[in-house]
Amino acid sequence: MLSDRQQMILNAIVDNYIHSAEPVGSRTISKRDDIGFSSATIRNEMSDLEELGYLEQPHTSAGRVPSTKGYRFYVDNLIQPHLLEEAELGKLKQLFAERILHSEQVVEYTAQILSQLTNYTAIVLGPEIFEHRLKHIQIVPLNETQAVAIVVTHTGRVENKLIDLPEGIGAGEIERLVNLLNGKLTDVPLWQLRQRLYQEISGEMQRHTEQYEEILQFLNNSLTQEEERVYLRGATKILNQPEFRDVDKVKDILELLEQHDQLLNVIGMQGDGLTVRIGQENQLDAIKQCSIITTSYSLGGKPVGMVGILGPTRMEYGKVITVLNHLAEGLSRMLTSQFEK
Amino acid sequence: MLSDRQQMILNAIVDNYIHSAEPVGSRTISKRDDIGFSSATIRNEMSDLEELGYLEQPHTSAGRVPSTKGYRFYVDNLIQPHLLEEAELGKLKQLFAERILHSEQVVEYTAQILSQLTNYTAIVLGPEIFEHRLKHIQIVPLNETQAVAIVVTHTGRVENKLIDLPEGIGAGEIERLVNLLNGKLTDVPLWQLRQRLYQEISGEMQRHTEQYEEILQFLNNSLTQEEERVYLRGATKILNQPEFRDVDKVKDILELLEQHDQLLNVIGMQGDGLTVRIGQENQLDAIKQCSIITTSYSLGGKPVGMVGILGPTRMEYGKVITVLNHLAEGLSRMLTSQFEK
DNA sequence: TTTAGCACTCGATAAGCATGAGTGCTAACA
DNA sequence: TGTTAGCACTCATGCTTATCGAGTGCTAAA
């Protein structure tokens, strides 16, 4: 275990490095107000800390830099509660006050704010409300051969798809089908839809089943499969970091972020609460120089989505964690109050 | 006017520079198979071309580089028809064969292919079908106070929004309203909706107007305003270009591309046909080191959207233009055949 | 009109050197 | 015994200088 003084010094080093982005030397630390030891003493301690794996030295005559293990200890034990500024709190409050009803917009706006507040890249996922229940099905014919199928869930989510109509089908028949579907399937959870669809409907409409095949297919496919909505904001913020002034270093990261389907792997829906993955702890090679902090937000106590921040390992952990906690809490409250009606 | 030989040399220089990214010298040109002159002769001509503003010299002892004017001449007069490879044509064909019905998916996929084929950044806009006509309105109540309003246009586009219901409104009343709206407004072009809405409906339903205010507002606002759909793919391709190996040089470009609402300014819905904007010719400062090639695609002869490529001024103009032309033509054919039913 | 020849320019690369931030170790001190 | 002053040592950084060579412009000959 680290002595109090070692912790104090480690804390000072991480703190300094986070703000300066330069390897920190013993003298810099000894000059700090909160440290009352000479540079020589600090040097000895730093040497020990390096031996223990908490620090690294880019080269002999340079200062020292926290290792992944060092950051990990800092995050787990040393981090100090960060107070948000008035203006920052204001922005968050404003977000929650905003009367945006569609979840997509909330998510998008959240990512925006998050990136603005932290100056890092924000990734926001969800909300995935797993217990979508079917509220309404509608089929609107456009012409002889095409129609739009629309499905509304009880949470207000709307999905739609252009479909081809079976040949020779009439408006009356479509209406009957729609009525039947609505009658039988309202309030059925989406995940049961596949099963119920064929069970209830195709029994009743045996003679038409073939004709309706495509329509049923649509309902079956595009509704039971959850579409993950990921929003990314401030991807280019990483370019402001001095350790990423080299194009080769950022290229992989930006390319990764550009593939939206990869983003899920990046923020990796794992733990429900606050998760910090530091540098090497990340699975993906492209972001082994980065840290990712995520937390989940919930609806009625049940986690439904995630908010996350991607930044350099030399990240303002304290601030980011505070912001994320505030945000997740606010979002949860907002969602819950909105849908509990 | 430039002599034949001058044109030949300018062409060779642009051609070389596009592929090498290095200032080209007289000897390099004289060694080319298609040039039968000594380096000295080339030097004289190059000197003249520089005086005329077609070439620039980074410094005295370097080769020369095309100026904006030089590229312009190249694009307008010298460009040679570019033949696409079998594999490239295949990818395009595959795109058009794809039976994707929703326009958003087509657009997204188009951007993807475009970026893959050219190795530059692709921006795709639309399709904006300006004569959307209303096909169907639906209001699905979710609970006592909320409902989803859904609008379908005759082209199959679906818009939806969560709205608050006026207090004490019943299911029956909503249905009456919806029926009224559908009865009166079907086939009305969206741009007329605002006017017709208040004119026809509010007359008829005077006593309810206040209650329905929000619903009418939704229809009024979110439907008459065209939402531009812009898709961006391959934004990070610019990082492969040797002239953009400096983070400071790409930062502004990537930040611009990140703001989706700015993209319209980038590809700038101007001319209908093929447009090439080279370096300095661009309005936005961030992309004065880039060239943008755009063209429009159409539905039934009427331009409805744009496809564009953003790359360095040192761009493979010939290839990009060919690809864009193919693509626009194919898209137009595809759209037209799909909607003419 | 073309081209061979040659002096000249100037960025890029490398080598040499001074600087200074930072270290590790030792010995003296409280 | 823990702390610190002192000092030799290391090594990245920045500066200067020298060399190299790709490329030019000009002149004179073919």
Question: Could you read off the pLDDT of B2-53 as tens digits, one per residue?
Answer: 899 999 999 999 999 999 999 999 999 999 888 889 889 999 999 999 999 9
Token output for A106: 């909330």
CA A330/CA A117 separation, integer angstroms:
15
Tell me, in Å, how far CA of A25 is from C1' of D11? 15
Q: Give the CA distances from residue B303 to residues B36, B306, B328, B331, in Å, rounded to whole numbers and listed in that order.
A: 46, 8, 10, 11
Q: Of the candidates A38, A54, A78, which is a domain's last residue?
A: A78
Total domains in chain A come to 3
Quote the pLDDT of residue B99. 63
- A258 to B251: CB separation less than 8 angstroms, yes or no: no
Q: Decide: CB of B62 under 7 A of nucleic strand D.
A: yes
B256 and B193 co-located in one domain:
no
Question: Could you read off the pLDDT of B160-171 as tens digits, one per residue?
Answer: 877 777 777 777
- B124 neighbors B327 (Cβ within 8 angstroms): no
CA A186/CA A183 separation, integer angstroms:
6
pLDDT at A108 over 90: no
Q: Decide: CB of B148 under 7 A of nucleic strand C.
A: no
Section B213-220 average pLDDT:
67
We report the CATH number of the domain holding residue A93 as 3.30.450.40
Residue A41, C-beta contacts closer than 8 angstroms, at least 6 positions apart: A30
Give the 3-state secondary structure of residue B331. helix
B220 and B198 co-located in one domain:
yes
Section A293-322 average pLDDT:
92
Give, as ranges, the nucleotides of chain C with any atom within 7 Å of a protein CB. 2-5, 8-11, 20-26
Question: Could you read off the pLDDT of B47-78 as tens digits, one per residue?
Answer: 999 999 999 999 888 899 999 999 999 999 99
A103 and A251 co-located in one domain:
yes
Q: Of the candidates B224, B243, B275, which is a domain's last residue?
A: B224
- A150 to B154: CB separation less than 8 angstroms, yes or no: no
B282 and B328 co-located in one domain:
yes
Q: Of the candidates B224, B249, B283, which is a domain's last residue?
A: B224
B246 and B326 co-located in one domain:
yes
B287 and B334 co-located in one domain:
yes
Token output for A38: 């000479």
Quote the pLDDT of residue A34. 86
Exposure string (b/e) for A60-81, b if CB count within 10 Å is 16 or more? eeebbbbbbbbbbbbbeebbee
- B254 to A247: CB separation less than 8 angstroms, yes or no: no
We report the CATH number of the domain holding residue B72 as 1.10.10.10
Quote the pLDDT of residue B47. 94
pLDDT at A48 over 90: yes
The protein residue nearest C11 (Cα–C1') is B61
Name the band, by pLDDT with cuts 50, 70 and 90, for residue A6.
Answer: very high
Tell me, in Å, how far CA of A230 is from C1' of D16? 55
A322 and A246 co-located in one domain:
yes
Section B239-243 average pLDDT:
93
A30 and A149 co-located in one domain:
no
A71 and A21 co-located in one domain:
yes
CA B127/CA A63 separation, integer angstroms:
57
- A226 neighbors A264 (Cβ within 8 angstroms): no
CA B290/CA B312 separation, integer angstroms:
4
Give residues 12-41 of chain B lying near strand C (Cβ < 7 A): 36-38, 40-41
B104 and B148 co-located in one domain:
no
Q: Best residue in B137, B258, B334 to probe A by mutation, most A CBs within 10 Å?
A: B258
Question: Could you read off the pLDDT of B282-330 as tens digits, one per residue?
Answer: 989 999 999 999 999 988 888 888 999 999 999 999 999 999 999 999 9
CA B333/CA B296 separation, integer angstroms:
13
- B156 to A163: CB separation less than 8 angstroms, yes or no: no
We report the CATH number of the domain holding residue A158 as 3.30.390.60
Q: Give the CA distances from residue B253 to residues A127, A336, B3, B264, B312, in Å, rounded to whole numbers and listed in that order.
A: 31, 40, 37, 14, 11
Token output for B3: 């002599």
- Name, of A314-328, B119-133, B190-204, the range with top average pLDDT: A314-328
| Interface size between A and B, measured as CB pairs under 8 A | 97
B248 and B334 co-located in one domain:
yes
- Name, of A132-136, B76-80, B224-228, the range with top average pLDDT: B76-80
Question: Could you read off the pLDDT of B131-141 as tens digits, one per residue?
Answer: 678 888 888 88
B325 and B236 co-located in one domain:
yes
Backbone angles phi, psi at A111, to 5 degrees: -60, -45
Q: What range does the domain containing B198 cover?
A: 134-224
Q: Which residue has the tokens 């986070």?
A: A18
Q: Which residue has the tokens 């095409």?
A: A146
